Structure 1
Amino acid sequence: MGIRIGSTVINCADLDAMTRFWSAALALAPSSADPGDDFRVLRGDRANLSLQRSRTPVTARDQMHLDLYTDDQEGEVARLTALGARRVEHVTDDPEDDYVILADPEQNLFCVCVKPTEVVEGKG
């Protein structure tokens, strides 16, 4: 087996709030909901996302972000903002690179990118 991405890790202060947000946003199931957790893996069919409680204030926001692909950008942006994300900017400088920058409840940035269904399903 070659190397692959197993999980992207996000440092956070409020593990429970971030678990609720990212689990609902990406239809992932948390490995645990124990209030004493310092680390949780949110598991899904296609990806894992890990959350790690930070013992110090989380800084350097732009060191990591996720690109989320969809063929329904407007619908997904609406759904994610209803879950607690904040809209930052819609970037359309390049007609082949259309994305909306959002911030999760702890202001970590991520992008919702327009991608055709074929790419979303791994066919393109």
Structure 2
Amino acid sequence: MPPHIAQCTIDVTDLDLMTGFWSDALGYTAGPAEEGGTHLFGPPGAPSVFLQRAATPHSPKNRVHLDLILDGDVEAEVVRLVGLGARPTDAGQTGTEPFTVLADPEGNEFCLLHVDPRSR
């Protein structure tokens, strides 16, 4: 059996700010980690998120990012995420993509998918 994604790790400079943002954005529960960061845990079977302290702020475009999917109104979710501190960002999209690109409060890009890729 091949490996599967168990966790996503995000480098952060403000651990409290980013713990609040990502736990609220994903509906995950935050817990301390031995490594000095924060673990975020979602429903059974969902990958966890590990927030680890970084000495330097975010630099140019991420080479790896989260793609989030929801059952519901994408526009309403964008408004909710922006209310939590996300912001729309330009990662070179044309405007015809089936996703919305946002950045978390520290500038880490992520996408809100309009269509589940498994349904294509």
Shorter chain as denominator, the TM-score bin is: 0.7 to 0.9
Q: How many angstroms does 1:91 deviate by? A: 5.1
Q: Give the letter for the 2:39 counterpart.
A: V
Aligned match of 1:82: 83
Following the alignment from structure 1 to structure 2, what is the Cα–Cα distance between the partners of residues 86 and 22? 14
> Which runs of structure 2 are paired with 1:5-24 in the superposition (5 Å)?
5-24=5-24
Which aligned runs of 4 or more in structure 1 are off by greater than 3 angstroms? 89-92
Give me the TM-score of the superposition, normalised by structure 2. 0.81
CA contact (8 A) 1:38 1:52 kept: yes
Residues 67 and 24 from structure 1, CA distance in 2 versus in 1: closer, same or farther, beyond 3 angstroms? same
Q: How many angstroms does 1:57 deviate by? A: 3.7
Q: How many angstroms does 1:62 deviate by? A: 1.4
Aligned match of 1:64: 64
**Unpaired segments ≥5 residues, structure 1:** none
Q: How many angstroms does 1:39 deviate by? A: 1.6
Identity within the alignment, %? 37
Following the alignment from structure 1 to structure 2, what is the Cα–Cα distance between the partners of residues 114 and 92? 13
CA contact (8 A) 2:8 2:49 kept: yes
CA contact (8 A) 2:13 2:53 kept: yes
Following the alignment from structure 1 to structure 2, what is the Cα–Cα distance between the partners of residues 16 and 87? 22
Structure holding more strand per residue:
1
Following the alignment from structure 2 to structure 1, what is the Cα–Cα distance between the partners of residues 119 and 100? 23
Residues 123 and 44 from structure 1, CA distance in 2 versus in 1: closer, same or farther, beyond 3 angstroms? farther
2:69 is paired with a residue of what secondary structure? strand
Residues 51-109 of structure 1, C-alpha deviation per residue, up to 9 Å, x if partnerless?
0001234434412211111242101101100000011257542xxx4111101000100
**Unpaired segments ≥5 residues, structure 2:** none
RMSD between superposed Cα atoms in Å = 2.5
Q: Does 1:41 align with 2:59?
A: no
Residues 78 and 57 from structure 1, CA distance in 2 versus in 1: closer, same or farther, beyond 3 angstroms? closer
The count of corresponding residues between Structure 1 and Structure 2 is 115
Give me the TM-score of the superposition, normalised by structure 1. 0.78
